[in-house]
């Protein structure tokens, strides 16, 4: 069936728009100072995981986030320490973004007792958001303005619990942001083949909440959308559904030979690498020099 939605360009327009002025000039903010380092750290972390897996030192399925780093960075760096993040089996990058030490995350992947993993699911995230609202409104903890982020993939959006949680969150105006990391593939199934309406963000207004589409390969655009969505939740205005168009550069996991995806599609998104794009932005706007960026890479 023909559709305006393609793997190379999302035709969707945001339900909640961003003021153009926020994009008109370079953002000289502390956020940029550490973002390049964090993006490179996460990419290097996964590269090391790949080495250990192929050397037979790491077992099971190691699911990859390579290429999607702008999404977690754009959202999680805006959170307070008390805010919650609930993720999927790609949660090692979200854990790093939230401040969990890389050693502890790597220990988890090696199956060591010193590891830590709290990846759960959308219902758990909805429960965490309900807890924040309950503490504020029932227990009268006036300073409890905690927000929950729920990260999940496009494949989840065809499951019943997704709709149940959107309904419950909107009904109770819970302080939660549902972040869909739409990388166009649910394991080996194309999102375009599996979903009647592939524009996921449209499902938000159907439940009475804003639905937003954003370029998930651009950390600055993600950050602008995240500021609005997290701010709404913290002010008690309820949930937001954010669809981030992104892409993973490797297969579904390190055991995936990645033979199903069109090479042209992969090349298209590789050219939009969030790390490369941020480097270009920093240099063009005189926010960092080549030598400074190389020093960051060397330190990582």
Confidence of residue 90 (pLDDT cuts 50, 70, 90): low
Between 27-31, 90-94, 106-110, 174-178, the lowest mean confidence (pLDDT) is in 27-31
Average pLDDT over residues 117-128: 69
Handedness of CA 217, 221, 225, 228 (dihedral sign): positive
Q: Please state, for a pLDDT cut of 70, what percent of the chain lies above it.
A: 84
Mean pLDDT of 20-47: 58
Residue 7 has pLDDT above 50, yes or no: no
Query: Is there a contact between 226 and 290 (Cβ–Cβ < 8 Å)?
Result: no
**Hey, what are 152's tokens?**
């999940």
- Average pLDDT value for the chain: 82
- In sequence order, the 6+-apart residues with CB closer than 8 A to the CB of 170 are 207, 208, 209, 238, 239
Count of CB atoms situated within 10 Å of the CB of 226? 27
- Residue 232 pLDDT level (bands cut at 50, 70, 90): very high
3-class secondary-structure state, position 244: strand
- pLDDT-derived band at 36, boundaries 50, 70, 90: low
* CA 75 – CA 229 distance, rounded (Å): 9
- CA neighbor of 282 nearest in space, from 266, 293, 272, 271: 293
- Dihedral of CA atoms 149, 17, 217, 108 in degrees, nearest 10, equals 0
Gyration radius of the chain over CA positions: 19
**Please, what sign has the CA dihedral across residues 246, 250, 253, 257?**
positive
In order of 10, 35, 71, the CA distances from 3 in angstroms are: 11, 36, 26
Nearest to 128 by CA among 177, 88, 66: 177
Work out the pLDDT band at 48, boundaries 50, 70, 90. confident
Q: What are phi and psi of 181, to 5 degrees?
A: -90, 85
Residue 233, both tokens? 């939740």
The first and second tokens of residue 203, run together, are 């499902």
Q: Which residue has the tokens 């993006």?
A: 39
State the average pLDDT over residues 161-188. Answer: 94
- With residue 177 as reference, give the H or E element that holds it: strand 176-182
Of how many residues is the chain composed?
300
CATH code matching the domain that covers 29-299, chosen among 3.40.50.970, 1.10.3430.10, 1.10.510.10, 3.20.19.10: 3.40.50.970
CA-to-CA distance for 275 and 93, rounded, in angstroms? 15
Give the SS3 label for residue 295.
helix
**Domain layout of the chain by residue ranges:** 29-299
pLDDT on residue 134: 95
């Amino acid at each position: 069936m023909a559709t305006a939605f393609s793997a190379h360009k999302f035709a969707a327009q945001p339900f909640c728009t961003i003021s153009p002025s926020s994009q008109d000039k370079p953002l000289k903010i502390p956020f940029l100072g550490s973002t390049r380092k964090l993006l490179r750290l996460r990419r290097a972390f996964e590269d090391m995981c790949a080495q250990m897996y192929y050397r037979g030192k790491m077992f099971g399925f190691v699911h990859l986030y390579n290429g999607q780093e702008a999404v977690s960075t754009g959202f999680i760096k805006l959170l307070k320490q008390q805010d919650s993040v609930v993720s999927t089996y790609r949660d090692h990058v979200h854990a790093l973004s939230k401040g969990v030490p890389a050693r502890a995350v790597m220990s988890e992947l090696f199956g060591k007792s010193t590891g830590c993993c709290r990846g759960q699911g959308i219902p758990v995230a909805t429960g965490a958001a309900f807890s924040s609202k309950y503490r504020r409104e029932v227990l009268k903890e006036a300073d409890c303005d905690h927000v929950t982020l729920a990260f999940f993939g496009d494949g989840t959006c065809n499951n019943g619990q997704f709709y149940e949680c959107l309904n419950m969150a909107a009904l109770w105006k819970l302080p939660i942001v549902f972040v869909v990391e739409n990388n166009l593939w649910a394991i080996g199934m194309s999102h375009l083949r599996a979903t009647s309406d592939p524009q996921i963000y449209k499902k938000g207004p159907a439940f009475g909440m804003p639905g937003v589409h954003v370029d998930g390969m651009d950390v600055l655009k993600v950050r602008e959308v995240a500021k609005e969505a997290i701010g709404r939740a913290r002010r008690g205005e309820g949930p937001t559904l954010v669809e981030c168009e992104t892409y993973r550069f490797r297969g579904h996991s390190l055991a995936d030979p990645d033979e199903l995806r069109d090479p042209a599609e992969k090349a298209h998104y590789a050219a939009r690498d969030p790390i490369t794009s941020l480097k270009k932005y920093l240099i063009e706007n005189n926010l960092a020099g080549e030598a400074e960026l190389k020093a960051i890479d060397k330190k990582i």
